[in-house]
Amino acid sequence: MSNPALSREDRRALGALLTGWGQAGRGPSLLASACGIAQYALFIGFAGFAASAIAALVAGEPFVMAALLAALFAFVRAGAQALETRAGFEAAARVKAHVRMETARALAVKGPAFTERLETGAAGSALTDAVEKLEGYFGRYRPLMPVIAGAPILMVAAAFTQSWVVGLLFIITAPLLPLFMAIVGGAAAAASKDQIAVLARLAGRFNDRLQSLALLNAFNAAQREREGLAAASEDFRQRTMKVLRLAFLSSAILEFFAALSVAAIAIYVGFSLLGELPFDAGETVTLREGLFVLILAPEFYMPLRRLSAAYHDRADAEAAADTLRPLLRNVESGAAHPGIGPFDMCPKITLSGVSCTYEDGRKGLKPVTLSIPAGKISVVWGPSGSGKSTLLKILMGFAPLSSGEVRVDGALMTAPLAGRAGWIGQNPRLFHGSLRDNITLHDPSIPGEMIERAVAEAGVADFLVHLSDGLDTPLGERGFGLSGGQIQRVALARALARDMKLVLMDEPSAHLDGEAEARFLDALLSNRDGRTILIATHSPAVRAIADEVFDIAELQAGHEQGGAS
């Protein structure tokens, strides 16, 4: 297992990332900090009036007014505490929403070329569990830091007005507590990062096995996988308990030293009031002054106690940021595909020396040059692994354009065609929801008549009559309830419902039998007019309906020969 400890450079990078995220909740966070400092200032007033009331009561003097003022300060302080908590919660909620939006946007920008290499469960865990780990950091830890700096200064100043010895004790003991917490906190940060990594792997494994349950049952492997998941769950439990042990240890250390400090102050005040100090402190402590500093002492350490409770939140946040950082890497802030609508006319596409090399060095497509005519069915033909699918992904922005250029109707393509072209992959994804929602993808702007027309033209109407609720029939995850050919026709209906003039298809009949493939191709041919259709395939049936066939192996060989000459 790799060492989960973070280097100084990693901590600096993660700190910058967390600081940037914190801007989304800056307003509520500042309000929480201001309320936190205010509540300790109000406590000083409460301590002063409470001590005066008790001293007056002991001396037989009027004490009601001082007691009422102490109650007023306590009431106002309770309001400040409530507002501090509420503002911290709002700050965390804003940051979590911002991070989820940024991560989802980054995944959309990176496209399938990146996301198809991720485990679905691991990505889902990052967007849910890892983001939730930011709750304590932005809701408690960050708003508390200005309080840690401001509140003790106020209380030290107040203590010095009553007893310089107590004020000096505050100054001496306060730095010791964060020091011991930091020693324990380093181990807590490593344990928290390890826990999140294990949780992501567990979520990915569980999701993958759940989707492959039929396969596991067929090969009698379900029991082995159940035992494997149980072992992985036990490993996660042990790592979670390790994080909790370190968190409790940090709190115990702080409570121990805070209790010793309060006890030392109580002993000093007690012996001062009895006149039994073994040394001359150079001051005389009265009952009111002694009560004031004794009431103040436990509260002086309260911000540090709160820091102890929230200290592991920083470790959790760093671990969460380290999990989310790869998803956000190499994505410019605010970058997104421009919102350009579909083509009005079927386009002509020209590729010149286009190639693709992925970030990990894999060669996705060797250089090719070809011209795809407008209003025709064109097929990119070749064996598996030759780069047919990658060529289409380059056009959609799902794979990087490493060299060459793409022109659409003579104009240089400066943005991917995603959003401007229909896309039908080898395994079109259907979601849990109604058939209508799967065709429109929850786009309310698509008119009902366009949906009905697409359903008829794509051949969905052929099996729609057999569904219990027509277009409102609920479908299971990945189109459960429909055959492969029916799913492909639903995917075609998606493109037709938006009247896409450019449709790209990646092996659309690869998983269909002969009859289903024929039905799909019939639906495609009946909707070819006024559209540029580009299909990557090695199916002879698909090749037979093409107006233009481009053999990708010949194109690549021709480009190499041209370059050599």
Question: What is the residue-level pLDDT of the chain in tens, covering all 565 positions?
Answer: 333 455 677 778 888 889 899 999 999 999 999 999 999 999 999 999 999 999 999 888 899 999 999 999 999 999 999 999 999 999 999 999 999 988 888 877 776 666 666 665 566 667 777 888 899 899 999 999 999 888 888 988 998 888 888 888 888 877 776 666 665 555 666 676 677 778 777 777 777 777 677 777 777 777 888 888 888 888 888 888 887 777 777 677 777 777 888 888 888 888 888 877 777 777 778 888 889 988 988 888 888 778 766 767 887 888 888 888 888 776 654 444 444 567 888 999 999 999 998 877 788 888 999 999 999 999 998 888 888 888 988 888 888 888 899 999 989 988 888 878 888 887 788 888 888 888 888 888 888 888 888 888 888 888 887 877 888 888 877 667 788 788 888 888 888 888 888 999 888 887 777 887 888 888 888 888 888 999 998 888 889 999 999 998 888 777 666 655 4
Q: Are 531 and 374 in contact (CB under 8 A)?
A: no
Look at residue 204 in the predicted model and tell me its pLDDT: 72
Residue 176 exposure: Cα atoms within 13 Å on the Cβ side: 15
Q: Residue 379 pairs with which residues in a beta bridge?
A: 535, 549
Query: Which amino acid is it at 505?
Result: M
Residues 233 and 241: their CA atoms lie apart, in Å, by 12
Q: Are 283 and 164 in contact (CB under 8 A)?
A: yes
How many Cβ atoms sit within 10 Å of the Cβ of residue 482? Answer: 21
How many Cβ atoms sit within 10 Å of the Cβ of residue 329? Answer: 11
Residues 357 and 355: their CA atoms lie apart, in Å, by 7
> How is domain 21-328 classified at the CATH fold level?
ABC transporter transmembrane region fold (1.20.1560)
Q: Nearest-CA neighbor of 438 among 489, 501, 484, 395? A: 489
Q: Are 25 and 88 in contact (CB under 8 A)?
A: no
Q: Which residues contact 367 (CB under 8 A, 6 or more apart)?
A: 353, 354, 355, 403, 404, 556, 559, 560, 563
SS3 percent helix, strand, coil of the chain, rounded to 5, is 65, 10, 25
How many Cβ atoms sit within 10 Å of the Cβ of residue 449? Answer: 8
Look at residue 464 in the predicted model and tell me its pLDDT: 81
Domain ranges in the chain with CATH number 1.20.1560.10: 21-328
Classify burial at 419, counting beta carbons within 10 Å of its beta carbon; exposed 0-12, middle 13-18, buried 19 or more. Answer: middle
Look at residue 15 in the predicted model and tell me its pLDDT: 84
Whole-model pTM?
0.67
Residues 231 and 210: their CA atoms lie apart, in Å, by 16
Q: Are 395 and 421 in contact (CB under 8 A)?
A: yes
Which tokens go with 118? Answer: 């991720």
Q: Are 138 and 162 in contact (CB under 8 A)?
A: no
Q: Residue 405 pairs with which residues in a beta bridge?
A: 352
How many Cβ atoms sit within 10 Å of the Cβ of residue 355? Answer: 22
Could you tell me how many helices (H) and strands (E) the chain has, helices first? 22, 11
Classify burial at 455, counting beta carbons within 10 Å of its beta carbon; exposed 0-12, middle 13-18, buried 19 or more. Answer: buried
Residues 321 and 26: their CA atoms lie apart, in Å, by 18
Look at residue 74 in the predicted model and tell me its pLDDT: 94
Domain ranges in the chain with CATH number 3.40.50.300: 349-564
Q: Which CATH number fits domain 349-564: 2.40.240.20, 3.40.1160.10, 3.30.70.1060, 3.40.50.300?
A: 3.40.50.300
Look at residue 3 in the predicted model and tell me its pLDDT: 37
Residue 288 exposure: Cα atoms within 13 Å on the Cβ side: 14
Q: Which residues contact 326 (CB under 8 A, 6 or more apart)?
A: none
Residues 315 and 189: their CA atoms lie apart, in Å, by 4
